[in-house]
Amino acid sequence: MTMQNSTGDKPTSSDVARYRANYLSEQEGVYLYSKLAEADEKTAKELAANLMQQSNTALDTLAREELGIDPKDLGGSAWSAAITSFFLFALGAIIPVFPFIFTNGFTAVVISLILSVFGLFGIGAGVSLTASSPLWKSGGRQVLLGLLAAGITFSLGKLIGSAVG
């Protein structure tokens, strides 16, 4: 195969010189690009190391870059979250016990079960507001998991209770 220049003729010595210059220029570009990539990697590693030494800055940066959230927009504090969680758990624990204050036996168990299902569904529905999932799906999943946990707890209690008694 013979080389041809842009006019279709055999390349002249000036064409060969131009091809050689282009080739060398491309080689230099590849070399410079690889050195630039190495420098960028080194710079990135140094930046990451410096960033990780500053715990607050590192956490804020990771939250922004990885999660896409601004920690300053979250508001609140750990104490308010803990206190709120305590009261909500206490409220959730009262729901199944509440019917036994006014009645007893099978009636209290049925009312407790019904209130628990509504409470579990309400929790699941609340989660759906933040999880972007359908209300019925989150509520149903919460009811299913809550009743499954209650069934396992009841079964273990019955097993231990009958072994002790």
Tell me the per-residue pLDDT of 103-115, one tens digit each, with 9 for 90 and over: 999 999 999 999 9
Q: Indicate whether 81 and 158 sit together in one domain.
A: yes
CA 12 – CA 109 distance, rounded (Å): 100
Q: Which residues contact 143 (CB under 8 A, 6 or more apart)?
A: 117, 120, 121, 124
31 with 84, same domain? no
Within a domain: 1: no
Same domain, residue pair 26 and 83: no
d(CA 71, CA 64): 8
Kindly report, residue by residue over 118-161, the tens digit of the pLDDT.
999 998 888 888 777 888 999 999 999 999 999 999 899 888 88
Average pLDDT, stretch 12-34? 70
In this prediction, residue 108 carries a pLDDT of 93
In a domain, residue 148? The reply is yes
**What is the tally of structural domains in the chain?**
2
- Identify whether residues 111 and 48 lie together within a single domain: no
Going through the chain in order, the beta strands assigned E by DSSP cover none
Q: What is the pLDDT of residue 24?
A: 66
Residue 19: its H or E element: helix 13-52
With a pLDDT cut of 90, the percent of the chain lying above it is: 26
For residue 13, report the phi and psi dihedrals to the nearest 5 degrees.
-65, -30
Question: Do both 135 and 93 map to the same domain?
Answer: yes
pLDDT value for 84? 84
Between 135-164 and 105-131, two packed helices, what is the crossing angle to 10 degrees?
A: 140
- Domain end, chosen from 25, 45, 67, is at 67
Q: For residue 152, what pLDDT is reported? A: 94
41 belongs to a structural domain: yes
Q: In this structure, is residue 8 part of a structural domain?
A: no
Residue 164 is predicted with a pLDDT of 56
- The total of other beta-carbon atoms located within 10 Å of residue 126's CB is 14
At residue 32, the pLDDT reads 59
Q: Model-level pTM?
A: 0.49
Q: Are 127 and 135 in contact (CB under 8 A)?
A: no
Q: Would you say 20 and 13 are in contact if contact means Cβ atoms under 8 Å apart?
A: no
Is residue 146 one of the residues assigned to a domain?
yes
Q: Is residue 6 a part of any domain in this protein?
A: no
Clarify whether residues 23 and 93 are in a common domain: no
Average pLDDT (48-60) is 71
CA-to-CA separations, 107 to 99, 101, 116, in angstroms, rounded? 8, 12, 14
51 and 130, same domain (yes or no) = no
Q: Which residue has the higher pLDDT, 155 or 165?
A: 155
Are residues 62 and 87 located together in one domain of the fold?
A: no
Same domain, 54 and 83: no
DSSP 63: I
The reply to whether 129 falls in a domain is: yes
Domain that holds residue 34: 13-67
pLDDT of residue 2: 56
Assess whether 104 and 135 both reside in one domain: yes
What local confidence, expressed as pLDDT, does residue 103 receive? 92
Q: Please check whether residues 149 and 102 belong to one and the same domain.
A: yes
43, 95: one domain:
no
Number of residues that make up the chain? 165
pLDDT computed for residue 29 by the predictor? 63
